[in-house]
Structure 1
Amino acid sequence: MNTSKCLVTGGAGYVGSVVAAHLLAAGHTVTVLDDLSTGHRDAVPEGARFIEGRVQDVARHLDGSYDAVLHFAACSQVGESVAHPEKYWRNNVGGTLDLLDAMRAAGVRTLVFSSTAATYGEPATVPVTENAPAVPTNPYGASKLAVDHMIAAECAAHGLAGVSLRYFNVAGAHGRWGERHEPESHLVPLVLRVALGERPEIAVHGDDYPTPDGTCVRDYLHVADLAEAHLLALAAARPGEHLVCNLGNGNGFSVHEVVETARKVTGHPIPRRTGPRRAGDPAVLVASAERAREVLGWRPRRPDLAGIIADAWDFARRPGEGEVR
């Protein structure tokens, strides 16, 4: 594909920074816009221009010299969305409306959006296809689904070339870019914090699910594979069309399997404590990524769980937060 000038909103966060690094490596020109509320300035890749700012103010920075926007700026904590839904409507939905308005005014007509499997809620069948009913069970998933609808309408009415990529469980690291969330809610980094001695044990929420070992099963995708899908989506976007693709390995790993694999990778016993189920946790959540394979030509190249955890482990042992890594 031809190289482009890209704006990456939320490009100082986990996924956004890895995608920005991949864009630069492919020869694209990259500007990162991030308010650093959850991102890290030192995660912005060398070679990218950085603007500290909110996506709501993107009109100040976006002009006709840009070819595309890759949109990662969003609040993403499920529990917080339940306690403070207004924050999610304002930031995720309102912020994206401001972005779409700015793109239309500037004549920037390509958008790749960071969506989520949370749009599906608790699916009746797995693996989950894009045709599954979208019935989110929390305001976070509802806000992302609302944005998907907004993008579809923008494509139909104004000729936007839009792609929504619905992630399942993203994990791993890409060189010096990895997960640094506070608070942390993802299983792999939480397990590795136990191995580092930063937590005494890992909490397992329920071991009586209808799965082979009784714990929840999830689809884990390497963040570098995810980033590669974004570059393919950028090339595949077509004016007036809204493409929705699931991104996942198509394989599920249970909580116990993740813990046991992390024990082998780290050499640490990683104590665990089993508690009651969490409300709203589906037993199995695994993606069908056939559409991404067929339309984007994308295949995950790093499907091995041990490899995903090993990359995350290498990152976790790098210099601490606040240092360049």
Structure 2
Amino acid sequence: MTKPKILITGGCGYIGSHVAKLLTKKGYQVVIIDNLSATGKKIPYGKIYPIDLSEEKEIIKVLKEEKPEAVMHFAASIVVPESVAYPLKYYRNNVENTLKLLSAMEKVGIRKFVFSSSAAVYGIPDTVPVPEEAPLNPINPYGRTKAMIEEILKDLSEAGSLDYIALRYFNVAGADPEGELGPAYNQPTHLIIRALKTAKREYPYLEIYGTDYPTSDGTCIRDYIHVMDLAKAHLLALEYLMSNGKSLVLNCGYGIGFSVKEVVKTVKKVTNIDFKVVETERRPGDPPVLIADNKKIKTILSWEPEFQSLETIIKHAWDWEQKF
């Protein structure tokens, strides 16, 4: 039996590319829309249309030509400090362009949608690990754009025009264990990638932003999830929707937190390289602790992670970094 065709926006980016590979391996036909702004590179999976989501007429053309049965939406601007400095860029790219994508889907009659959301919607949660039912109180424009889109999706679902799953990612890291794909940002801001590039001497030192948080060692604590476990969550979410599952919001994390200093220590251990670390002021928009309550995704989608060890996550990312 032929599996359905799936459209992936941002499919040449970090997470989208891993999902595109997994879906292709599972027998799905993959079509990608990506303006290549994040990576500048195409991937060897799927049919790629190098267009921007601001071009609604072009999106409609692709949807009519390819006739996908579902859309997985990854394309977005994602850097928290940048969102604080340039909020309009984030509202335009993340909210306005998503509206254009949803409008195009409605015009063509596609109603299955998997959305790349974020734990940033929670802001500084009162409960840790944070459940999906926690109030949404984002503390930066990036998080607000994701929360706005979730509200739009909820309204569309209640109007009967869309079935969706919004996956709230915690901190995504690691790389394809087969070494084919990995983080490919032009200007990486994520801690593990920055630390590995510092180990490679691409940067003179690694900055730690804030050591006065109310945590055990004063640095922020995050829940790191391997990109392939996240890709698997997308596959399960897609299969759930295609089996007429109801609209859902699900956390994607392990329920385990590591501080910035613990991550740096593990990077030094995995690479066997010491490097300079500079402690500096807090960045705007960083909550002290973000850890997922993941009971819901495990129960509803039967999701079981394979790469839960922080050392494994960092080793796969290091293997990838050493290719360049």
Q: TM-score range by the shorter chain?
A: over 0.9
Q: Which residue of 1 aligns with 2:259?
A: 254
Q: Which residue of 2 aligns with 1:23?
A: 23
The residue identity in structure 2 corresponding to 1:122 is I
- 2-structure distance, mates of 1:298, 1:195: 33
1:97-129 per-position Cα deviation (integer Å, ceiling 9, x unaligned): 111111112121110000001111111120011
Deviation of 1:2 (Å): 7.1
1:224-246 per-position Cα deviation (integer Å, ceiling 9, x unaligned): 00000000000112659420000
Q: Which residue of 2 aligns with 1:194?
A: 198
- 1-structure distance, mates of 2:244, 2:110: 11
The residue identity in structure 1 corresponding to 2:260 is V
Q: Which runs of 5+ in 2 are unaligned?
A: none
TM-score (norm 1): 0.93
Whether 2:171 is the aligned partner of 1:172: answer no
Q: Which residue of 2 aligns with 1:322?
A: none
Q: Which residue of 1 aligns with 2:47?
A: 49
Correspondence for 2:81 among 60, 79, 84: 79
Confirm or deny: 8 A CA contact 1:159 1:241 kept in the other structure: no
Q: Which residue of 2 aligns with 1:210?
A: 214
Confirm or deny: 8 A CA contact 1:155 1:241 kept in the other structure: no
* SS of equivalent residue, structure 1 residue 55: coil
Correspondence for 1:268 among 273, 276, 285: 273
Deviation of 1:277 (Å): 2.5
- 1-structure distance, mates of 2:144, 2:214: 27
Moved more, 187-196 or 56-65: 56-65
* Residues 37-116 of structure 1: pairs in structure 2 closer than 5 A: 37-42=37-42, 44-46=43-45, 48-57=46-55, 58-63=59-64, 65-116=67-118
The residue identity in structure 2 corresponding to 1:287 is A
The residue identity in structure 1 corresponding to 2:316 is D
Confirm or deny: 8 A CA contact 1:178 1:315 kept in the other structure: yes
Confirm or deny: 8 A CA contact 2:39 2:186 kept in the other structure: no
Confirm or deny: 8 A CA contact 1:151 1:162 kept in the other structure: yes
Q: Which residue of 2 aligns with 1:13?
A: 13
1:262-316 per-position Cα deviation (integer Å, ceiling 9, x unaligned): 1111110022111223333222111111111111111221110000000000000
* SS of equivalent residue, structure 1 residue 204: strand
- 2-structure distance, mates of 1:260, 1:159: 49
Deviation of 1:85 (Å): 1.5
- 2-structure distance, mates of 1:73, 1:232: 20
The residue identity in structure 2 corresponding to 1:178 is G
Correspondence for 1:318 among 310, 314, 323: 323
Confirm or deny: 8 A CA contact 2:81 2:284 kept in the other structure: no
The residue identity in structure 1 corresponding to 2:9 is T
- 2-structure distance, mates of 1:209, 1:138: 18
TM-score (norm 2): 0.94
Moved more, 303-312 or 145-154: 145-154
The residue identity in structure 2 corresponding to 1:36 is L
Moved more, 116-125 or 279-288: 279-288
Confirm or deny: 8 A CA contact 1:119 1:134 kept in the other structure: yes
Whether 2:303 is the aligned partner of 1:304: answer no
Identity value in percent: 45
Q: Which runs of 5+ in 1 are unaligned?
A: 320-325
- 2-structure distance, mates of 1:304, 1:240: 31
- 1-structure distance, mates of 2:252, 2:145: 19
Confirm or deny: 8 A CA contact 1:158 1:240 kept in the other structure: no
Q: Which residue of 1 aligns with 2:293?
A: 288
Deviation of 1:250 (Å): 0.5
Confirm or deny: 8 A CA contact 1:172 1:309 kept in the other structure: yes
Confirm or deny: 8 A CA contact 2:163 2:246 kept in the other structure: yes
